[in-house]
Structure 1
Amino acid sequence: MKEHTLFDNTETAFALKSDSELERAYFLFKMIANEPLVRIGTAVTNFALKAHLPVKGLIRATVFDHFCGGVDEEDCIPVVERMYEKGRVSSVLDYSVEGKEEEEQFDHVLDKTMGILDFVDQKEAIPFGVFKPTGFGRFLVWQKKTEGATLTGEEEEEWNRIEERFDEVCKKAYECDVPLLIDGEESWMQDAADELVAKMMRKYNKEKAIVYNTLQLYRHDRLAYLKELHEEAKVYGFKIGMKIVRGAYMEKENDRAAEKGYRTPICENKAATDLNFDTTLDYILQNLGDIAVFIGTHNEDSCYQAIELMRKQKIVKNDPRVWLGQLYGMSDHISFNLAAEGYNVAKYLPFGPVKDVMPYLIRRAEENTSVAGQTTRELDLLSKERKRRKL
């Protein structure tokens, strides 16, 4: 394998896309590249959905089908099977419904997650389960718990139910022997999530990593947290599961820190974030006996670094403790080329009712416009593949 040209292979990257799907992807990224258009499109879409205008079909045929697997698990199966059979790329089914506030909605997310674990248990192509902490309880309760504020009697009951939901789903994952990725969220609720996830690790990660937390490495304090957790794991005799990502709430984090007058938890610039990510990855791969990792990144350099570190540490490409992951609809040049080389690769495959998944899709579009070079790279590769096919 020629180092640093692996991800230029567009034939492998887009092998699963028909000509019309390739054209749709090109059209979508052209739109996303235009920031004012994203803003207008977002506002119009939100209005249309709230006003119950008939836009679902249009959304479904364009942005939804590009970035999502379907409206429910069954709907995702053709996508899952196609990626796995043709591209050796696995899927992580992600029920991407955000911002709920009611207890019955949290119970619904729990049922959905439990159902997915049953579903996944039978499918080699879906190696992980996943959920967000705020899918199981109100953000405010997480925040108060993180800040050490006194909970009302009602909130105490809510917190107990959050703990019960966590325990129920982690126990299920343990029984099904399916690792479970727990997403990271905003820093002002994350400490409570970290504590609860560590508690689940102590309980269910005795033999191997089943429960995985998430480190958002645009935060400068996360490697120190991992090292502390590692010491605790040695004392209590449990394995650590960790998904590492750069992070998804940067503007929000910086704005809140400025507004409330505390030091932002975000690294001072992109270079510092990249260094933090790479240093953490290095630490984990040097301690693979204790820590299993899911490397969630769209950054080509980080993927090359993972390849290089694995080679140095003599870690085989398909070691079950090392996975690389990208989001569905993005960075196919990374996912499919890595999988073709024999690495464990999974795509995060969001699903859910069109209306409920829109906040997720809008964040994706905004993220693509704000990450310098991401959309440009996608467009370059899609152009290259279109030319190659015409020839």
Structure 2
Amino acid sequence: MLSFFTKPHLPVFIVDKNFILNALFKSTIYRHFCAGEDVREVKNTIINIKDMGFKGEVGVGVKELKEEGILPQEPTFHEGIEARRQGVLETASMLETGDFLALKFTGAGVGMKDALDTVCEKAMERKAGILINAEQQFVQPSINDIALSLMCRYNRGQAIVYNTYQAYLKSTPSTLGHLHCAKDEGFTIGVKLVRGFYMDSESRGLIHNTTQQTDDAYNNIKEGLLQRQYQDLRPDGFPKVDLFLATHNKQSALHAYQVQQQRAEAGLPLAKVQYGQLLGMADKVSCTLLQIAADPRANVPASPQVYKRLSWNTLGDCISYLFRRAVENRDAVMRTKIEYYALRKDVWRRTKKAIRLGVAGKY
């Protein structure tokens, strides 16, 4: 259904112009998956999730200036590119200590280079972080170069800038040769590890043949970074790694925590590890990690920090975003449905129990 409203053929189906559709979508999927339309609404959402124990990962407004990976060249896009740059700076102003700002480079324009330094400096001042999104492989090498340059400049001590590495790509183990750069240059490498974003648009030959191969690649990379043994790098001289595990897979997340716990108990060096899921999705994973963090028996240095990815913009722009994320996260969407039905069943069970107790109390 969402695909129909992303490119409506008639004005009556444009959600930002149709009052009924706007009210319907905003009170349902928009409220569940998106943080708001403006700074005030986003800040309120951040307060709400932090009250629940989560930390915030704020994405720049989800409106995009490109189609199918083609960079805009026409002068008519200049105003939009400047708006994008201002949106980055506006989003950066929302950051608080421990928050993350997620950045997407494609379509941002050459003016973004100056904004990057400003954003990184703001993040350093506020003890926050920058997550650079992965993109399609025809632009990713340039993004990797920018990310390495920023990490070398700003990641002195703890990581401020994180680059994203996609486990579903066959080339990712070699791309993680970036660890050697971190070792040689003496900076902390920030690694955001994901399974992958662009399965429907990437060349099939670049991607692992099966889901299991992708899962194995994700877990092998994760294990190597946590154990400080990856490829030809050994614990002695292993670079400092700060790791952000973006995963909706409960087993992957819990295994990472168990490795951290074991290393903490053995007195071994620990990587800084954070866990992230999308707002409104994989709440069972997120809440399980929060319960572990709240357990007084948990080893504090290994205690998980859990983030929720917040995306914001107008309802019309977010409809397109929600459709893309639904396509990219089919398995996670199915798990969200399963969680919904499980919660609905439990609410109905409790309601019937309350009714029975109420009736019994009258006699």
Q: TM-score, length-normalised on structure 1? A: 0.74
Question: Which residue among 242, 253, 258 is the counterpart of 1:292?
Answer: 242
1:20-57 C-alpha deviation (Å, 9 max, x unpaired): xxxxxxxxxxxxxxxxx555565669961289433222
Moved more, 301-310 or 42-51: 42-51
**Structure 2 counterpart of 1:205:** 155
More helix by share: 1
Give the secondary-structure state (helix, strand or coil) at the position aligned to 2:200: helix
Moved more, 93-102 or 380-389: 380-389
Matches of 2:262 and 2:279, distance apart in 1: 30
**Structure 2 counterpart of 1:72:** 38
Q: Which amino acid aligns with 2:23?
A: G
**Structure 2 counterpart of 1:56:** 22
Answer yes or no: is the 8 Å Cα contact 1:98–1:135 preserved in 2.
no
**Structure 1 counterpart of 2:53:** 88
Greater relative contact order structure (CA < 8 Å, 6+ sep): 1
Q: TM-score, length-normalised on structure 2? A: 0.79
Is the counterpart of residue 244 in structure 1 residue 209 in structure 2? Answer: no
Answer yes or no: is the 8 Å Cα contact 2:131–2:163 preserved in 1.
yes
Deviation at 1:304, TM superposition (A): 1.9
Matches of 2:6 and 2:335, distance apart in 1: 19
Matches of 2:16 and 2:101, distance apart in 1: 34
1:3-33 C-alpha deviation (Å, 9 max, x unpaired): xxxxxxxxxxxxxxxxxxxxxxxxxxxxxxx
Moved more, 110-119 or 293-302: 110-119
Moved more, 282-291 or 128-137: 282-291
Deviation at 1:370, TM superposition (A): 5.9
Deviation at 1:245, TM superposition (A): 0.9
1:119-153 C-alpha deviation (Å, 9 max, x unpaired): 323xx5x621221112523xxxxxxxxxxxxxxxx
User: Compared with structure 1, are the counterparts of its residues 63 and 76 closer, same or farther at alpha carbon in structure 2 (3 Å cutoff)?
Assistant: same
Deviation at 1:96, TM superposition (A): 3.6
1:274-320 C-alpha deviation (Å, 9 max, x unpaired): 0010011112212386110111110111112112211222289xx89
**Structure 1 counterpart of 2:93:** 118
Unaligned runs of 5+ in 1: 1-36, 138-157, 259-263
**TM alignment of 1:313-324, pairs within 5 A:** 313-314=263-264, 321-324=272-275
User: Compared with structure 1, are the counterparts of its residues 191 and 376 closer, same or farther at alpha carbon in structure 2 (3 Å cutoff)?
Assistant: same
Matches of 1:164 and 1:224, distance apart in 2: 30
**TM alignment of 1:182-261, pairs within 5 A:** 182-226=132-176, 228-253=177-202, 257=203
Give the secondary-structure state (helix, strand or coil) at the position aligned to 1:313: helix
Answer yes or no: is the 8 Å Cα contact 1:88–1:340 preserved in 2.
no
**TM alignment of 1:159-170, pairs within 5 A:** 161-170=111-120
Is the counterpart of residue 281 in structure 1 residue 222 in structure 2? Answer: yes
User: Compared with structure 1, are the counterparts of its residues 194 and 289 closer, same or farther at alpha carbon in structure 2 (3 Å cutoff)?
Assistant: closer
**Structure 2 counterpart of 1:359:** 320
Matches of 2:263 and 2:341, distance apart in 1: 34
User: Compared with structure 1, are the counterparts of its residues 166 and 78 closer, same or farther at alpha carbon in structure 2 (3 Å cutoff)?
Assistant: closer
Answer yes or no: is the 8 Å Cα contact 1:197–1:211 preserved in 2.
yes
1:159-211 C-alpha deviation (Å, 9 max, x unpaired): xx343333332233233331111111111111110001101111111222001
Is the counterpart of residue 378 in structure 1 residue 349 in structure 2? Answer: no
Answer yes or no: is the 8 Å Cα contact 2:189–2:239 preserved in 1.
no
Deviation at 1:246, TM superposition (A): 0.9
**Structure 1 counterpart of 2:100:** 128
Matches of 2:41 and 2:8, distance apart in 1: 27
Question: Which residue among 156, 174, 177 is the counterpart of 2:127?
Answer: 177
**Structure 2 counterpart of 1:337:** 288
Answer yes or no: is the 8 Å Cα contact 1:118–1:176 preserved in 2.
no
Moved more, 175-184 or 45-54: 45-54
Give the secondary-structure state (helix, strand or coil) at the position aligned to 1:133: coil
Unaligned runs of 5+ in 2: 66-71, 229-237, 294-303, 354-363
Matches of 1:361 and 1:334, distance apart in 2: 20
Count of matched residue positions in the alignment of Structure 1 and Structure 2: 318
Q: Which amino acid aligns with 1:249?
A: Y
Q: Which amino acid aligns with 1:214?
A: T
Higher Rg: 2
Give the secondary-structure state (helix, strand or coil) at the position aligned to 1:278: helix
Deviation at 1:348, TM superposition (A): 0.3
1:333-357 C-alpha deviation (Å, 9 max, x unpaired): 1112211211200100111111122
Answer yes or no: is the 8 Å Cα contact 2:123–2:129 preserved in 1.
yes
Question: Which residue among 236, 244, 256 is the counterpart of 1:306?
Answer: 256
Give the secondary-structure state (helix, strand or coil) at the position aligned to 1:198: helix
User: Compared with structure 1, are the counterparts of its residues 233 and 356 closer, same or farther at alpha carbon in structure 2 (3 Å cutoff)?
Assistant: same
Matches of 1:265 and 1:95, distance apart in 2: 28
Matches of 1:214 and 1:166, distance apart in 2: 16
Deviation at 1:367, TM superposition (A): 3.6
Question: Which residue among 173, 194, 210 is the counterpart of 1:269?
Answer: 210
Answer yes or no: is the 8 Å Cα contact 1:338–1:345 preserved in 2.
yes
